[in-house]
Amino acid sequence: MTTSLTIAQAAQATGLSVHTLRYYERIGLLDPVERRDNHHRRYTQEDLDWIAFLKKLKATGLPVRAMLRYAELRRAGNTVESVSQRKALLQAHTLCVQHTLAELQENLAVLQHKLVLYEALEQQASAAGRDTAASTSHPERMAS
């Protein structure tokens, strides 16, 4: 017997709201979820795995339209065309994610540089026994 979860349990397990789960099903990101005789949704492990993947796509900035296209291709099965198109979609998105990561790394390096500068200025002020480390009101200019 396979275990299935109610929508509330699935929401808790995935970190998504009940509203979001219903929305994903309504727009086609999720296949119609199995329902019991009482019409309550029952989510399987396969559903939860798919939702986890959708969350990764969303977290990496893939637009909903592209997520819908991926879901449509997934529903088409593992045909050569479907697999090829899903692969291409993920390859293109991977390039975007890599570009974003590179930009974030550059920004992080600037922030880390500033932190080192301010640490040095604090140490300079402490060693001199005064409240200010430099005569300029813009200490970041000192590092340029």
Do 133 and 81 lie in one domain? The reply is yes
pLDDT at site 134: 56
What is the spatial distance between Cα 81 and Cα 73, in angstroms, rounded to a whole number?
A: 9
C-alpha 17, offset from chain centre = 16
Say if CB 9 and CB 40 are below 8 A apart. no
Asked whether residue 70 is assigned to any structural domain, the reply reads no
Say if CB 89 and CB 73 are below 8 A apart. yes
What is the spatial distance between Cα 84 and Cα 98, in angstroms, rounded to a whole number?
A: 21
Q: Judge residue 66's burial from the number of C-beta atoms within 10 Å of its C-beta, 0-12 exposed, 13-18 middle, 19 or more buried.
A: middle
Per residue in 68-79, pLDDT tens?
999 999 999 999
Q: What is the mean pLDDT of residues 106-134?
A: 88
Asked whether residue 67 is assigned to any structural domain, the reply reads no
pLDDT at site 135: 54
What's the whole-model pTM score? 0.79
**What sign results for the dihedral spanned by CA atoms 95, 101, 107, 109?**
negative
DSSP annotation of 130 reads S
Do 41 and 4 lie in one domain? The reply is yes
Per residue in 14-26, pLDDT tens?
999 999 999 999 9
What total of structural domains would you count in the chain?
A: 2
Asked whether residue 71 is assigned to any structural domain, the reply reads no
Per residue in 47-70, pLDDT tens?
999 999 999 999 999 999 999 999
Residues of the domain holding 41: 1-62
